[in-house]
Structure 1
Amino acid sequence: MIGKPIPRVEDQRFVTGRGQYTDDIHVDGQLHAAFLRSPHAHAVLRSIDIAAAREAPGVIAVLVGQDYLDDGFQGVDHVPNPVDAIDATRKAFLTSLTGSIFNQPHIPLPTDRVRYVGEAIAMVIAETPLQARNATELIEVDFDVLDAVVNGVDAMQPDAPQLWDGAHGNLCFQTQIGERERAREIIAGADHVVRREFHHSRLVNCQMEPRSAIGAYDAATDVYTLISGSQGAVRQQLCLALALKVPPARVRVV
């Protein structure tokens, strides 16, 4: 098969409406969630008033970031520095010229401020999708809007707003490969030197069915299950297990 084109075999069911997506799957006792999202790129959350949403028809619960922390969970690892596609705990770089490698775990719902447009602020759980969406409109948030940085180079400037409370601002880590002084000597003696700045375009893994997931907990087996259109199930399993503070064997990703 090496070097030969491999024909796709899955298209027929997709174009005839027989593909299966997250919304086609239903579990016993299934409820529905909708999220209130930030209209601001950067803002302090002064307060979140969920009282009216809690009393809306069909609403089971309204959750904010502090509820997640109160249950004893921790932030989800962004895995910014992996060397292995399967074992996310293996790091590509172990040291940094800054003295540390910054990795801020991500709380699913923020407790202090929002950091991008569309960030989820509160989650409404209701009996139907419409009831959940309607209830999100009853949540009132008091924002203190801050300046936003939309360029990676600008974010690295000393006077840029710090998105996280890291010791080195918005810098994850800084490293070098090879001997710097020897490289300088070679460059100084070269007949021709080329300098080039490279910009990497943002890469986003886009599913046919975005932002759709089913989460289920089986009390009998003590196993958490996530069903979602995505990729990298093994890494998701590990990161979810760390966030939930359970062994990876108790997390199943479909």
Structure 2
Amino acid sequence: MDQETLETLVHRANTGDQESLEKIVLAIKDYVYNLSLKMLLFPEDAKDATQEILVKVITHLSTFNHKSKFSTWVYRIATNYLLTQKQKKGKEFPMPFADYEVLIDSGHSDRVSYASNDGELKLLEEEVKVSCTQGLLLCLKPIDRIIYILSDILEFNSKEGAAIVNITPENFRKKLSRSRMKIRNFLNKKCGLVNSNNPCRCVRKIDFLVDQNIIEPKRLRFAELSKRSIDLIEKIDQVEKSIAVYRSVPSFTAPDIIFKNIKAILSHE
């Protein structure tokens, strides 16, 4: 949905049009969910955060002054919430880069015990790829993480990104440069997808990560055979491989329960 249509819906919603308000929620819920998922890693945390953010958007809709893009305004609300959000499921997962290196270097195996056919193997390989690279983002401090996500993954420019996190464009670029270097250096040093000289391969990490309860073969969080991001990386040559690893990850659809819950909230207003 384009910005003009969205802002028209905002005008209508602020006059009490319930249908327009529901259309706004439907238009932005996936964007909010994907930002939350990248910041918090675990879908359970992202689902809860998305619902809270959508409630904030609804209750503050009358304060939108139409001086910025509506999407920028929504991302600002989402960012403010996510920077103060305490993770539930993943509260103990963030770790220093040095500790993440140890995790990456551990448990390589050429044998996969948890896959009985090629389809299962491909799903588990994709689950490792997305879980590992998304988990790496949590090594960054929250403000540095959100800046990296906004710029290198969601492709906001420094002026837009700075407006979202409420800092100057110069400060935004400075923080982005540091975060970008940390992620690039780590992936170039450890990730076989980014640098083929590295021994780590997603398929070789499957058994170890299952044994560590980091991924669950019967309850995959990210993997879909129809959206295998691992297959896209070699085809992306417009950007460096460290960024391609992240941009290749498909967008996820927000769980249906989020809209159902928001709709229930609206019906009681």
**TM-score range, shorter-chain basis?**
under 0.3
What TM-score do you get using the length of structure 1 for normalisation?
A: 0.26
Q: Which structure carries more strand by proportion?
A: 1
Q: Which structure carries more helix by proportion?
A: 2
Greater C-alpha Rg: 1
What TM-score do you get using the length of structure 2 for normalisation?
A: 0.25
